[in-house]
Amino acid sequence: MLTEEQILQALSVVRDPDLKKNIVELGFVHNVKISADGDVTLDLQLTTPACPIRDRFKTQCEQILRDIGAKTAEVTLTANGRVVNANAAPASDNALLKDVKRIVGVASGKGGVGKSTVTANLAMALSLAGAKVGVLDADIYGPSMNIMFGVDTAPEIFDDRTIAPVVTKGGVSLISMAMFAESDKATIWRGPMASQMIQNFVHRVRWGELDYLLIDFPPGTGDIQLTLTQQCPLTCAVVVTTPQEVALADCRKGLAMFDSVGVPSVGIIENMSYFICDGCGKRHNIFRTGGGERISKALGVPLLGKVPLEPSVADCGDLGAPAVLRYPNSESGRAFIEIAEKTIHAIAQLEHSNSHVLHNFNLRWDEIPVEA
């Protein structure tokens, strides 16, 4: 007669390649039941229903249980307190995107330039202009879109493993990596897991009918970003920068990354361009000026607009409503509205030009000179 101890001992050879520990020490094994006839059932609790190797885990564990003498073995996969159907037929790859008219990647060559802030405000400005808009927060390093939109509800996950986005104030459909992480724990999305998760978000979310789906990219131009450009059927991209030389150099890398995979960049957005003092009303250029124009001219990618550094922009991020919704008449609010109009125009031009690749920088994205 098998014991629970023997079962756990035997299953400890199954390792999670991402977490580099075995499934018993990771606490994945629950509800071990051994019948008088030697039938064994147990639950295997996954960190995500989208675990890329969940089927392999199930097969491997059931085989081990039979090998050590179980008459029959049944492993039930669970995640987030629900049963995961390992054999559920996956939704056909782009089926749920069929009513999404355009997918726009929002990227930055480096972190901290305000890419997420710009994505949230651009989405809201497009929505306020009457478009149906979705946002996929794929910033695996610091998903923050749920905070920026003041959303704290979890999305509904259906039996067929599709997900319903959460609709924010102002009517934007939102899915964020943050909704799938425990808020009090640092979640490290490792390469393959992050990539699988992003694929699920793109292909398993019931986006419904959208005019624009904005994807907030992780900052930088590494492998993850490149994979994302290949996984998402992007219509085009916009790149966010600040006027600083160091940010501009990275902005070129971002543009060249999209170029290298044949995704046209329709514009550059310069954030934190200047500061207007609420005391003296004077405009202060904190960074050097003209950077956005220079890079736009050099690479032939339109500058969609400049957003000032304004406390209300940062405040809205903290308080859960994009500035353009709360202060549409502020300098930054007006800048975001203008940027949204120019983005609509740039995408329409791209669609009418019928050309897939607008630019040819003749630069390898990882070999960009540092000078702007």
Return residues touching ligand ATP (CB under 6 A). Answer: 108, 111-117, 139, 142, 144, 219, 271-272, 307, 309-310, 313-314, 317, 332
Closest-CB residue for ligand ATP?
111
Max CA-CA distance within the chain?
84
Angle (CA) 88 228 17, round 5°: 60
Closest distance between ligand ATP and the C-beta of residue 314, in Å?
A: 4
Q: Report the residue number, 118 or 157, with the smaller CB distance to ligand ATP.
A: 118
Closest distance between ligand ATP and the C-beta of residue 270, in Å?
A: 10
> What's the number of CA atoms in the CB half-sphere (13 Å) around residue 370?
2
- Residue 113 annotated as lining a ligand binding site: yes
Our measurement of the distance from residue 273's CA atom to the centroid of its chain's CA atoms, rounded to an integer in Å, reads 25
Two structure tokens written together for 10: 């035997």
Q: In a 3-state reduction of DSSP, which class is residue 239?
A: strand
C-beta neighbour count of 282 within 10 angstroms? 8
Q: Report the residue number, 263 or 309, with the smaller CB distance to ligand ATP.
A: 309
275: left (phi over 0), alpha (psi -120 to 50) or beta: beta
Look-up: residue for tokens 């990771």?
26
Q: Report the residue number, 138 or 236, with the smaller CB distance to ligand ATP.
A: 138
- Residue 69 annotated as lining a ligand binding site: no
Check if the beta carbon of residue 106 is closer than 8 Å to that of residue 254.
no
- Residue 171 annotated as lining a ligand binding site: no
- Residue 127 annotated as lining a ligand binding site: no
The rounded distance, in Å, linking the Cα atoms of 184 and 186 is: 7
- Residue 116 annotated as lining a ligand binding site: yes
Q: Report the residue number, 111 or 320, with the smaller CB distance to ligand ATP.
A: 111
- Residue 172 annotated as lining a ligand binding site: no
Q: Report the residue number, 179 or 313, with the smaller CB distance to ligand ATP.
A: 313
Closest distance between ligand ATP and the C-beta of residue 276, in Å?
A: 11
Q: Report the residue number, 97 or 275, with the smaller CB distance to ligand ATP.
A: 275
The rounded distance, in Å, linking the Cα atoms of 340 and 122 is: 6
Q: Report the residue number, 162 or 229, with the smaller CB distance to ligand ATP.
A: 229
- Residue 98 annotated as lining a ligand binding site: no
Angle (CA) 161 162 167, round 5°: 140
Give me the long-range contacts of 17-21 (CB less than 8 A, separation at least 24).
Answer: 17/53, 18/190, 18/192, 18/193, 19/47
Closest distance between ligand ATP and the C-beta of residue 129, in Å?
A: 20
- Residue 20 annotated as lining a ligand binding site: no
Q: Report the residue number, 24 or 276, with the smaller CB distance to ligand ATP.
A: 276
Check if the beta carbon of residue 176 is closer than 8 Å to that of residue 183.
no
Closest distance between ligand ATP and the C-beta of residue 113, in Å?
A: 5
The rounded distance, in Å, linking the Cα atoms of 340 and 123 is: 8
Closest distance between ligand ATP and the C-beta of residue 297, in Å?
A: 23
208: left (phi over 0), alpha (psi -120 to 50) or beta: left
Look-up: residue for tokens 């543009």?
255
Two structure tokens written together for 63: 């085989």
Closest distance between ligand ATP and the C-beta of residue 292, in Å?
A: 13
Closest distance between ligand ATP and the C-beta of residue 316, in Å?
A: 8
Check if the beta carbon of residue 307 is closer than 8 Å to that of residue 336.
yes
Q: How far apart are the first and last CA of the chain?
A: 72
Q: Where is the binding site, in residues?
A: 109-116
Q: Where is the binding site for ATP, in residues?
A: 109-116
